[in-house]
Amino acid sequence: MDIPYYTKSIQDIKIILKTSEEGLSVEDAKERVKQYGLNQLKEKEKINPFFIFLRQFHSIVVYILLGAVIISLLVGEFIDAGVVMVILIFNAFFGFIQEYRAEKSMEALQQLTSLKAIVLRDNHVHEIDAKYVVPGDVLLLEEGNKIAADCRIIESVHLKTQEAALTGESTPVAKTIEALPQNLALADQKNMVFAGTMVSFGRGKAIVTATAMNLEIGKIAHLIEETDKSLSPLQKNINNVGTIMGISVMIICAFIFGFSAFKGHSILPAFLAAVALAVAAIPEGLPAIITITLAVGVKKLIKKNVLIRKLPSVETLGCTTVICTDKTGTLTKNEMTVRQIYANNTFVEVTGTGYKDVGDFFIDGEKINPQQIGLLLKIGLLNNNAHIEEEKAIGDPTEACLLVSAAKAGIHADEKRIEEIVFSSERKRMSTIHESGAKHVMYTKGAPDVILQLCKKINNNGKVRSLTPKDKKAILAANHRFTSSALRVLGFAYKEFPKKKAEYTDADEKDLIFVGLQAMIDPPREEVKDALRKCKEAGIRVIMITGDHETTARAIGEELGIGSAVLSGKDILKTNLVDVVDKIDIYARVNPEHKLKIVEALQKKGHVVAMTGDGVNDAPALKKADIGIAMGITGTNVSKEAGDMILTDDNFATIVNAVEEGRGIYGNIKKYFGFLLSGNISEVLIVFITLLLNFPLPLVATQILLINLVTDGFPALALSVDPYEPSVMKQKPRKKHETLFKGLAPYLVWYPLMMTLAAVSLFAYVFYYGGSLVKAQTMVFCLIAIFELFQALSCRSTIHSSITVGLFKNPLLIGAIALSATIVGVVIYVPLFQHLFDTVALSWLELMTIIILASSGYIIIEITKALQRVD
């Protein structure tokens, strides 16, 4: 059982870990390496690339196709066998590349501990590889250091750490050495520091309490390793379709061969026709076309700042019903910004966000000269240890935003600092003393109530007077107004010393002159509100999950329009999440385990869950979610490797583009699916029914294969890159278990019946009254081909009229239809190909009759789609 080190006193820590403030001895450290092992995360057993490649062939469709290849080779159909095998190898190679890149979550976690650590051993400072750090070691912590292990702090000099990547806390956490009460969330364990986080301010010492897989990062690694990844809805659909079609086609083709033999037809032509029909009826192009469709979508998404790591993720995102998003750095900028100021008994609004020194100051909507509040801004500038370089904060973000508010007013430092009375969590204030001409001036900032208690006067519009009870009431009311809006507030005051002193202490922090308040927040991204609105229109719910306090989280949630129903991390374990998960908009103060539980609860309620995040703490939930969306700029390597896709611009609005792309891609797959299967069903029915009616075979094997490889292939490929359905983002997300068959009745029922009726009737008429089997087979071949080319046009939309969406908006499809029609014409009218495919030339009257009959399929599909829209 884990020891709650944060509840122990420093003395108890030394006893438990058998160490001292001077550190371990070198020999003891070596022994502990043997006892505890190296301070590095375990890697999963590496997958053999050869087995990853073989795994690409593990599906029912592929098994059937491999069997068809073998049979085709045995009967001499080398061209068809070669084409099918090329498609299979291409599909397997593409899938191999994607899957091979997906096995890196643990490698990214490993990188977090690939650093140096400064330790005390035998009371001497040593710099060692972090992997040799052991429990009981004393680490020296300094600003800018990445922490190598989980530690209990034993000395803190203004120590603050940036823990956003682990806990979600957006601002640096001030550290203490005091023992704390039990049952605290990770973010509240303020006497601990954790591996993978950064020292943002101050310095300190800490005793190592955990290494390797016992780290908080290590626990996350366990969660990642233990989280299973289920198949995407599309993969499940394709496997189901493959199973159903494979079994059905093999049974029917076996029956056709047996029936033909029983009726006395020639065995070899009957067998060849049955094999050809099996090859034609099984959608061997489906895996390849899906891969191509997804790959084209991936290229489009790269241009829209989305990097897809796993192809099915594009499709899965299209049916997402819930997006769980981290607040810090995802919905917000992770850049503290001064929003409001209270000075001179009035409220001032400050525009601009982040660390750009662009913005203005307004009172009641009217722009003001910021010099009116210049003293307040000057105190924030001078009483400051942060720096800004290239619009990035170095140091405490809270102090950095004070530099920005001063810069917006054109105020610059012009007084030399001579001393500092440092901030502490007990004092809740900080003072700096500056040389101003012949006198010294103390500038003080801190918690408003603390500052107010130290003040006896107030500077109002440049005039100093006594601080009255009415002034105090107004100041406290302003502070309450700010905090109620989740703004973080600092109070500012000053004091002049007519005579210079040699030394200043906190005893001098009295009789101050109050100046005002500055209120700040980590602001939402500008584009987020619009992105959230689009998500709502698309039927996608957005839930905010953050390590921040409830008040801050609720204020951001309300401002963005996410909602206000909040559940804290401490209450998650006490609550049956499945019962309340559909009612909660915001989860605050959460740990990684909580995030995982939230995702699991949503999935149990039938939701398709997308999880966005950028920190180490997000990785387990990113991997468990149906689709994990990592941030590319601020994201840790861990989150990127755990995610299915990465936003390269860290822009929440980019998710909307990805959703649209996912839905559009699925729609195009559905177009192809309907087009392919309707033709395949029709071909099987035509052969099956003509045999039942005691007719000869209506098609020879080469004609069946040509229809399959040419008239099916080119238009289907063009449909895979067709422009998306109109209003795709106005539709509700499809159900997680919705099959590809839904809404395809016009293609899979009415069209095959119409085509079968037309083909069987035409074959019977020509065979009986024309007396020519070859002509009858030629006309059926031509009829089926033109039927399918007409259908390709109707497949431009499975919902709307093909005329409405534009018959000619896909030039590639028009080209594919023209090419296929040309090939059919060549086969019918060129003597060499007539011999190869057993065809004869048709008259113009016969050809026009076929075209008119074939158009009936297009008409019946368009009428059926119109009737479905009315329903």
Cα–Cα separations (whole angstroms), residue 463 to 376, 467, 535, 584, 761: 14, 12, 52, 50, 103
How far apart, in whole angstroms, are the C-alpha atoms of residue 70 and residue 493?
A: 87
Q: In 3D, which of 369, 413, 416 has the Cα closest to residue 387?
A: 413
Architecture of the structural domain at 65-72+231-305+657-727+734-870 = Up-down Bundle (1.20)
pLDDT band at 264 (very low <50, low <70, confident <90, very high): low
Instruction: Note the pLDDT tens digit of each residue in 415-462.
Output: 889 888 888 767 889 999 999 888 899 999 999 999 999 999 999 999
Ordered by start, the domain boundaries in the chain are 5-43+108-226, 65-72+231-305+657-727+734-870, 314-333+526-650, 337-521
Instruction: Note the pLDDT tens digit of each residue in 347-381.
Output: 999 998 888 889 999 999 999 999 999 999 999 99
Q: Does domain 5-43+108-226 have CATH number 2.70.150.10?
A: yes
In the residue annotation, 326 being an active-site residue is answered as yes
pLDDT given at position 247: 75
Residue ranges in 102-125 assigned as alpha helix (H):
105-112
pLDDT given at position 114: 47
- Start-to-end CA distance of the chain, whole Å, equals 61
How far apart, in whole angstroms, are the C-alpha atoms of residue 398 and residue 403?
A: 9
For the chain, give the percent of residues with pLDDT over 70: 82
- When pLDDT is averaged across residues 152-178 and rounded to a whole number, the result is 83
Q: Does domain 314-333+526-650 have CATH number 3.40.50.1000?
A: yes
> Contact at 8 Å (CB) between 245 and 287?
no
DSSP 311: T
- The residue annotated as part of the active site, out of 80, 137, 150, 326, is 326
Mean predicted lDDT score pLDDT of the chain:
82
Task: Pick the most confident of 235-239, 354-358, 740-744, 803-807.
Answer: 354-358
pLDDT given at position 106: 36
Determine the 3-state secondary structure of 654 from DSSP. helix
How far apart, in whole angstroms, are the C-alpha atoms of residue 534 and residue 8?
A: 50
Instruction: Note the pLDDT tens digit of each residue in 467-509.
Output: 999 999 999 999 999 988 878 899 999 999 988 888 898 889 9
Cβ neighbour number for residue 462 with a 10 Å cutoff: 9
How far apart, in whole angstroms, are the C-alpha atoms of residue 315 and residue 294?
A: 8
DSSP 310: S
Stronger pLDDT, 633 or 232, i.e. the higher one: 633
Entry field: residues in the chain: 871
3-state DSSP helix/strand/coil % of the chain, to nearest 5:
50, 20, 30
Instruction: Note the pLDDT tens digit of each residue in 202-233.
Output: 888 999 999 888 888 777 665 555 444 455 55
Token pair belonging to 384: 């400051």
Note whether 65-72+231-305+657-727+734-870 and 314-333+526-650 share their fold.
Answer: no
Q: In 3D, which of 606, 583, 551, 580 has the Cα closest to residue 734?
A: 606
b/e 516-546 (16+ beta carbons within 10 angstroms → b): bbbbbbbbbbeebbebbebbeebebbbbbbb
Cβ neighbour number for residue 730 with a 10 Å cutoff: 9
pLDDT band at 279 (very low <50, low <70, confident <90, very high): low
pLDDT given at position 739: 74
Q: Does domain 337-521 have CATH number 3.40.50.720?
A: no
How far apart, in whole angstroms, are the C-alpha atoms of residue 148 and residue 115?
A: 7
How far apart, in whole angstroms, are the C-alpha atoms of residue 198 and residue 215?
A: 15
